[in-house]
Amino acid sequence: MKLIQHIKVLFCLVLVLGFSQHVFAEPGLWKVEKNGVASYLFGTVHVGDTSMKGLPNKVTQALDNSDKVIVEVDISSISPMEMQRRSLPFMMLKDGKTLQSELSPANYAKLQKYFADKSIDIAMFKNLAPWAVMITMMQMEFQRVGFSDQYGIDKQVLTYAKENNIAVGELETLERQMEMFEHLAIMNDKMIEETFEQLADVDTYFLGLIKAWKSGDMKTLTSFYNESFDDSQYGELSEQVMLIDRNNDWVEQLSTRIGKEKLFIAVGALHLPEQYGLLKQLTDKGFTITRI
In a domain, 252, yes or no: yes
pLDDT of residue 3: 39
d(CA 49, CA 142): 10
Residue 218's pLDDT is 63
In a domain, 278, yes or no: yes
d(CA 128, CA 133): 7
Residue 133 counted as domain residue: no
**Residue 100 domain flag:** no
Tell me whether residue 270 is in a domain.
Answer: yes
Question: Count of domains in the chain?
Answer: 1
d(CA 144, CA 47): 13
CB 232 within 8 A of CB 29: no
Q: What span, in angstroms and rounded, lies between the C-alpha atoms of 11 and 160?
A: 19
Residue 116 lies in a domain: no
Inside any domain, residue 115 = no
Is 173 a member of any domain? Answer: yes
Structural domain boundaries, residue 284 = 4-77+147-291
- CA gap 226, 245 in Å, rounded: 18
Task: List Cβ neighbours of 52 (8 Å cut-off, separation of 6 or more).
Answer: 45, 151, 153, 214
pTM of this structure: 0.86
pLDDT tens, the chain, 292 aa long: 443 344 333 333 333 333 333 344 578 899 999 999 999 999 887 888 998 999 999 999 999 999 999 999 999 999 999 999 999 999 999 999 999 999 999 999 999 999 999 999 999 999 999 999 999 998 898 888 889 888 999 999 999 999 999 999 999 999 999 999 888 888 889 889 888 887 777 766 677 778 777 776 666 766 777 777 777 787 888 889 999 999 999 999 999 999 999 999 999 877 888 888 999 999 999 999 999 8
